[in-house]
Amino acid sequence: MHRRHSTQPFALAMTPARFRGVICLALAAGLLTVGAPVGLAQTITIPFPAPSQPSPTPPQPGPSQPAPSQPGPSQPAPSQPAPVPLQPSPGPSPTVPGPSSKSSGPVQVAVTGTPAPVDTVRLGIETAVREIMPAARDAEVTVVSAVPALAPLDPSTNAALQATVQVVSPARPPQLMTLPVAVTNVAARWPDAQVLFVSNSPETLPFGKVLYNAALLSGQTARLLYHHQNGSKIARMTIEVALSNPTRSPITLWVNGGSGGPAADELLIGHAAAYRFLEQYATHAAFLMQIPANTTVPLLVHDLPPLGVVSGIVQLGLVTGDRLNLQVFARLAGEMDPPTESFMSDFDNVHQRGAFATPQLTRSVTFAAGGPPVIMTLGGDADLLREGATGTQLQGNYGVVYNFDVHATNPTSEPVVASLVMHADGGQARGTFIVDNQIINGPTVQPNAPKTITTIRLMPGVDRTFRITTMPESGSNYPVHLLLGPPP
């Protein structure tokens, strides 16, 4: 991730120019009510602050909105033999991701969201496959196709499909399997994150290493941002996000997330991760999973080529159970586990790692047609979060959700068009924006070359409020400025 300050006054640039019975029972019995936050542990226990405001109301996608193009890079094909069929392990398929789940019939995936986007459904299927296929447990699992095709799933609806999944592991050739899947969109509470875990230091990894350890206690919700590069020029590396239940009873949680890469273009993969995350965040989407007692489940597994980079954002909440452990680690090809000494703290003195409380900021601004433009800054010094143990500032506020509530009026007798323009004066940057419930795949913006994100039409006499939601993206140079005013 990058952060560079502008070397020239902004005044020059601002000129307008994403089932199991236990979950159903939990829902029916009200067990999905999330308790008050009490504390969290990283290497040591760090307290969660109480949320300062309620969760934002999820926007509803507009019916006329065109399907946005996927911003992420195509997943590069590994240089391995062609895929071969993979047979499921003996025994029935589970109803909810979790190796203790037992039932006959298709794999059951429970999601939530208004609607649950494609990436939520896909991640739910991939997680379920890891739990029923021993060969897939620590492999990179990807849904390559589905019949019918994956599509957003509305609340209280279900879908039956045949999913074809590719399993890629450094130790064996790629393997393909096709299995029946039943997806159901259920109601579940969705509290926003109380803390942001950042795993970005060291960013470049010359050897396998444990990168981050954290924990959630009952009722807590956290967001994880990770961004790392394989520092080897000759060997492949696996980056894994693993979830563990250290207790004697099963736990239930909800999860969403997006990732980009592996690839060499940091800007592109950071943008892909942010876009996929925000699309799910906007509709309060997630999939539900259960982890049995004393069990570790790989959530995301990335197979990086030499010098490859991966970026990801995950948000998860512990619905039932006492504790969830989270770990991010790297493993070079041929290593069984990261070296013991890699558990020691190791920072690169440039990038950041730690726990940052309350990772969403809401600002109210006012725009009147014919009046001065409105400036909104992302990742500026005044907003930087501080790490809970050290007080270190989160430079650029990467992974922090910004909400700008815009009160817009047009006191004139004529329609007025206002433009939302992005200025990236500290280096090239991209952004993902949800403007008035519409998601926008922002362009690449270079210094001294601002670009229009969208336009807003204000009819005569209008007096309304709309929301702009966005997030500083890994691989981009923040802070950046948004300008709402006359067209440039």
Residue 160's DSSP bridge partners are: 182
Q: Is the pLDDT assigned to residue 5 strictly greater than 60?
A: no
Confidence of residue 341 (pLDDT cuts 50, 70, 90): low
Sequence-distant (6+) residues with CB within 8 A of 422 are: 429, 431, 442, 443, 445, 450, 451, 452, 453, 480, 481, 482, 483
Report how far Cα 363 is from the mean position of its chain's Cα atoms: 22
pLDDT digits (tens, 9 = 90+) for 375-430: 999 999 999 999 999 999 999 999 999 999 999 999 999 999 999 999 998 899 99
Considering the domain 359-485, what is its CATH architecture? Answer: Sandwich (2.60)
Rounded mean pLDDT of 55-74? 39
Tokens 């726990």 belong to residue: 355
Residue 349: predicted pLDDT: 66
Backbone torsions φ then ψ of 28, nearest 5 degrees: -65, -35
State how far the Cα of 484 lies from the Cα of 428, in Å rounded to an integer.
20
Boundaries of CATH 2.60.120 in the chain? 359-485
Rounded mean pLDDT of 229-239? 93
Rounded mean pLDDT of 61-89? 37
Question: Average per-residue pLDDT in the chain?
Answer: 81
Tokens 């070359």 belong to residue: 449
Rounded mean pLDDT of 42-52? 32
Q: Which residue has better confidence, 95 or 264?
A: 264
Q: Which residue has better confidence, 78 or 356?
A: 356
Confidence of residue 347 (pLDDT cuts 50, 70, 90): low
C-alpha closest to that of 321 among 24, 51, 31: 31
Tokens representing residue 294 in the block:
């004393």
Q: Which residue has better confidence, 318 or 88?
A: 318
Give this prediction's pTM. Answer: 0.80
* Strand pairing report for 204-205 and 195-199: unpaired
Residue 379 to residues 11, 48, 261, 400, 445: CA-CA distances in angstroms?
Answer: 18, 22, 24, 9, 16
Confidence of residue 345 (pLDDT cuts 50, 70, 90): low
Residue 346: predicted pLDDT: 62
Q: Which residue has better confidence, 327 or 27?
A: 327
Q: Is the pLDDT assigned to residue 186 strictly greater than 60?
A: yes
Residue 130: predicted pLDDT: 86
- Within 13 Å of residue 56, how many CA atoms lie on the same side as its CB? 24
Backbone torsions φ then ψ of 349, nearest 5 degrees: 65, 5
Residue 109's DSSP bridge partners are: 183
Sequence-distant (6+) residues with CB within 8 A of 22 are: 96, 250, 252, 290
Q: Which residue has better confidence, 318 or 54?
A: 318
